[in-house]
Amino acid sequence: MAFRHKNTRRIEGLDSNVWVEFTKVAADPSIVNLGQGLPDISPPSYVKEELAKVAAVDRLNQYTRGFGHPSLVKALSQVYERVCGRKIDPLTDILVTVGAYGSLFSTIQALIEEGDEVIIIEPFYDCYEPMVKMAGAKPVFIPLRNKNDGNSASMAAWVSKFNSKTKAIILNTPHNPIGKVFTREELQVIADLCIRHDTLCISDEVYEWLVYKGNKHIKIATLPGMWERTITIGSAGKTYSVTGWKLGWSIGPQNLIKHLQVVHQNTLYTCPTPLQEALAQAFGIDYKRMDDPDCYFYSLSRELESKRDRMAQLLQEAGLKPVIPDGGYFMIVDVSTLNVDLSDVDEKQPYDYKFVKWMITSKKLSAIPLSAFCGPETKRQFEKYIRFCFIKKDSTLDAAEVILKNWNKQTA
């Protein structure tokens, strides 16, 4: 009998993934890796120390509360009560998940289904589209446009994308990959549309602390009429430079969070205990100094701002046009000025995919092609951009500098 066991419909076409392609290549140590978004700087020492302390406590190696370790949800409620200016119940308004990724999954599985439409702003963190599809829903894309490229007719597009089927909009601020920090006015427009159409807002705010001078991170959930329809997602990995701890959280009103909790209890039940306890302790330390510039939430941001400025300078000196981000730790760059002719390479791939592969082989520098973050209609518009990650130690940026300085010499 022929083997009939193929995959389910829900995962049809969701098997390919930009990271699988590019992280393997960048694993080669001779490549200067500014691609995947992970720090090569050390997490703060007190975070590692707290984890070491926890390992010695026997009961912290066994199961904890499914929806979130008590000391962690308490610490999160304290920090976010202060930020949001409202009471947050640690037991009913918070769910701890396996990274912000797990929060996105739990939210989408809990609240989105076949027949729903979900608005995704392009470019977008690549998992939004497959997760929406896996839930049986239809992604509806709205591109961010560069004002300098003209064309403000896209404003009408915003309004036209909302209809009675629009279950949710996914917002990402500060934004990956562009580094945009949505202003209060922009958030108000989105909020007005959500309220008008009774749409939910899934707000991915993993880079919430990483905003640079002159910018302020505003939580859409704090706008009038939005708390009751918003799930706000955060990440320990981005907050404390520990992406490998894979802890995130969803915060929102009980009547929404309870459904995320049902998904969680039927998918992985509980997150690792020792990491949650250590994270709770770290949050305790920084909560106490939230009025102090030494608080890690602010000191990391300052550290990254100088790396951002250095990265931008290096790229400009190499004749490139970086888009200076207002937040996050990514920078996108228009590489068309380099005029690298790749027309004889595989026609089917977008230009930026070809460019990055060429850059990895011939320049030993990696990045991520921006079209990976676009829906099918928009890939061509963004294919002259690539994304660099700059949460890297000085020696990595030094190595990148050498490559960029020598760029023109090699191509001459």
Partner 1 sequence: MLRRAGPSLRHFLLERKNSAGYSSYSGEAKMSRPVQARRLEGIDKNIWVEFVKLAATYSTVNLGQGFPDFPPPDFLKEAFVRALSGENHMLHQYTRAFGHPPLVKILAQFFGKLLGRDLDPMTNVMVTVGAYQALFCCFQAFVDDGDEVIIIEPFFDCYEPMVKMAGGMPVFVPLRPKAPKDGKLMSSADWQLDPAELASKFSERTKAIVLNSPNNPLGKVFSRGELEVIADLCVKHDVLCISDEVYEWLVYDGKEHIRIASLQGMWDRTVIIGSAGKTFSATGWKVGWTVGPNRLLQHLCTVHQNSVYHCATVAQEAVAQGFQRELKLYGKPESYFVQLPKELQQKRDWLVQSLDAVGMKPIIPEGTYFLVADISEFKSDVPDVPDSDEPYDSRFAKWMVKNKGLAAIPLSAFYCGAHKNNYNHFIRFCFAKEEATLKAANDILQKWKREKTNP
Q: How far is the CB of 131 from partner 1 (least distance, A)?
A: 6
Minimum distance, C-beta of residue 295 to partner 1, in the bound complex (Å): 20
Residue 22 or 407 with smaller CB distance to partner 1:
22
- For 279, phi then psi, to 5°, come to -65, -40
- Residue closer to partner 1 by CB (options 1, 412) is 1
Beta pairing, strands 248-251 & 230-235: antiparallel
Beta-sheet pairing, 117-122 with 166-172: parallel
CB of 90 to partner 1, least distance (A): 15
Q: Which residue has the tokens 């092609």?
A: 369
Smallest distance, Å, CB 149 to partner 1?
Answer: 9
Closer of 179 and 369 to partner 1 (Cβ): 179
277's CB contacts (< 8 A; 6+ apart) are 50, 54, 57, 60, 64, 69, 71, 72
| Nearest approach, Cβ of residue 228 and partner 1 (Å) | 10
Q: Which is nearer to partner 1, 244 or 319 (CB)?
A: 244
CB of residue 22 vs partner 1: minimum separation in angstroms? 13
> How far apart are alpha carbons 86 and 80 in whole angstroms?
8
Q: Which is nearer to partner 1, 175 or 354 (CB)?
A: 175
- Nearer Cβ to partner 1, position 87 or 147? 147
Q: Cβ of residue 15: shortest distance to partner 1, in angstroms? A: 5
CA dist 102 and 248 (Å) reads 7
Query: Of the two residues 248 and 354, which places its CB atom closer to partner 1 in the complex?
Result: 248
Q: Which is nearer to partner 1, 180 or 354 (CB)?
A: 180
The smaller minimum CB distance to partner 1, of residues 71 and 407, is found at 71
**Burial of 111 per CB tally in 10 Å (0-12, 13-18, 19+):** buried
Amino acid letter for position 86: R
In the complex, least distance from residue 281 CB atom to partner 1, rounded to whole angstroms = 14
Compare residues 270 and 299 and give the one whose CB is closer to partner 1: 270
Q: In angstroms, give the least distance from the CB of 147 to partner 1.
A: 6
Q: How far is CA 259 from the centre of its chain?
A: 23
Closest approach, Cβ 176 to partner 1, in A, equals: 13
